[in-house]
Amino acid sequence: MTNLNLIDRISTMYRATFGDLPAHIVRAPGRVNLLGEHVDYNDGFVLPAAIDRATYLAFSSVNARHSTLAAVDFDQQASFSADSVPTKTQADSSPLPEWALYPAGVMWALMEEGLPVPSMNAVFGSDVPRGSGLSSSASVEMAFVLAWQTLGGWNLPPLRRALLGQKAENRYVGVNCGIMDQFASACGVENRLLLLDCRSLEWKTIPLPEAVSIVIADTTIRRKLTSGEYNKRRAACEEAGRLLKQDLPNIQSLRDVSVEQFNRLADKLPPEIEKRARHVVEEIGRTRQAKALLEAGDVRNFGRLMNECHVSLRDLYEVSCPELNVMVNIAQTLEGCYGARLTGAGFGGCTVNLVAREHAPAFAQELARRYESQTGLHPEIYITRASKGVELLK
Ligand code: GLA
């Protein structure tokens, strides 16, 4: 589960950069979401799991004005301090590189909270592929929050740390994401799915039925400018809420609109807003059925909800892409597959597949073969395990 090879690489780079060994190492996982897509920022329910891919961060406190960070995946360094962070600049006044906005954003959010953020030397690397819908950014954020907690001598519960990571991403990086990714990375539990109510922030775990595996299939498509499209979807949902409030004055968000109410009022909405909001209202309806189905071991009907979710993301929310559709279409015809859909924000990245355990290896192989023959792209497909949330390894 732990990527010893990556720990070795960051430790070696740490020693090469700073001349000694790191005092600490943190592991912060990515996540995969099984159901409840694009509903977290509508107060809905989500069903993610932390996965066995993670960001690893080696760090020590340093008696200096600036924190100095190196990223193995970029082979670059950045250096910033409490003074330079608000202007998104480095020690030498040059702008922070894009990858450094996440740790710098975390520092900013912690400072806003009045928490001590001592300077650190740090090296990090990740085996969560970037831009793949598996929350590599949230894993970086959660790694740095825990690192600064370790050095700063304060102690916040995991959900509070998740909220600070989300704040960093919303207000510093500029992506208006919901709470799901940071939550999953902070609160993951081994072999469990996490069911979060994004309004009350109450959550429970649900065991994954014994006989199924979660298979992640990476299309290898990476979309640029997804944050712009993402923010537009979110704005459309807010607009739908505002318009529906004229007839339903008691609603706070789309969470409060039933499918029946929505059907009655849908033609009052502009067509694009209607499509976006319909996805959200119906998807929240699907997630309301998920817990009972999973607890009853009814993976067949749960898988059906996953398939419906994909159609809705493709046709109503319009966040799929041809390669994701190819991957899902193939998967759904293969033996042992209960459900397949795109996972995460969309526009490229990965699909999540619920597959009968005994069929999972053959499923992965055949899916890769057919996807490659249809698209010419070489996908990465693997069986994942629900893992623990962010933790201090050393
Ligand atoms: C991204 C965001 C999450 C969530 C998903 C879509 O991963 O960071 O908050 O909105 O997209 O469900």
What tokens does 284 get?
């929240």
* Residue 346 placed within a domain: no
The mean pLDDT of the chain is 97
Is the C-beta atom of 323 inside 6 A of ligand 1? no
Sequence-ordered strand ranges (E) for 175-321: 192-197, 203-207, 212-218
348 located within any domain: no
345 lines ligand 1 (CB under 6 A): yes
Q: What is the pLDDT of residue 210?
A: 87
Is the C-beta atom of 181 inside 6 A of ligand 1?
A: yes
Closest among 253, 277, 282 to 266, alpha carbons compared: 277
Q: Confirm or reject: Cβ of 41 under 6 Å from ligand 1.
A: yes
- Judge if the beta carbon of residue 169 lies within 6 A of ligand 1: no
Task: Give domain status of residue 116, yes or no.
Answer: yes
For residue 1, the model assigns a pLDDT of 75
For 244-284, the pLDDT digits (tens) are 999 999 999 999 999 999 999 999 999 999 999 999 999 99
| 41 CA closest ligand 1 atom index | 10
Q: Domain for residue 83, yes or no?
A: yes
Pairing of strands 192-197, 337-342: unpaired
State how far Cα 170 lies from the chain centre: 14
Alpha carbon of 46 to ligand 1 centroid (Å): 10
Could you tell me if residue 13 is inside a domain?
yes
Count the domains in the chain: 1
Q: What is the share, in percent, of the chain residues with pLDDT greater than 70? A: 99
Ligand 1 center to residue 265 CA distance, Å?
Answer: 27
Range of the domain at 68: 4-207+388-392
Say what the pLDDT of residue 227 is: 77
Answer yes or no: are the C-beta atoms of 206 and 242 closer than 8 Å. Answer: no
C-alpha torsion angle, residues 110, 114, 119, 124 (rounded to 10): -10
CATH of the domain at 118: 3.30.230.10
In a domain, 85, yes or no: yes
**Residue 161 is assigned to a structural domain of this protein:** yes
Q: Which residues of 310-323 are buried (b: 16+ CB within 10 A; e: fewer)?
A: bebbbebbbbbbeb
pLDDT the model gives residue 226 = 62
Question: Which of 142, 123, 147 has its CA nearest to residue 387?
Answer: 142
pTM of the model: 0.97
In this predicted model, what pLDDT tens digit does every residue of 211-237 receive, in sequence order? 999 999 999 999 765 678 999 999 999
**Cα 195 to ligand 1 centroid, rounded to whole Å:** 15
The Å distance, Cα 283 to ligand 1 centre, comes to 14
Which atom of ligand 1 sits closest to the CA of residue 234? Answer: 10
Q: Identify which of 180, 229, 343 to mutate to test ligand 1's pocket (most ligand atoms within 8 A of the CB).
A: 180
Work out the average pLDDT over 15-42: 98
* 90 within a domain of the structure (yes/no): yes
C-alpha 21 to ligand 1 mean position (Å): 36
Select from 177, 185, 284 the residue to mutate for testing ligand 1; criterion: most ligand atoms less than 8 Å from CB: 177
Q: Which residue out of 140, 166, 169, 181 has the highest number of ligand 1 atoms within 8 Å of its CB and is therefore the one to mutate?
A: 181
pLDDT digits 0-9 by tens, 166-202: 999 999 999 999 999 999 999 999 999 999 999 999 9
Q: What is the distance in A from the centroid of ligand 1 to the CA of 94?
A: 31
Q: Which residues are tagged catalytic?
A: 181
Q: Is the pLDDT of residue 14 over 70?
A: yes
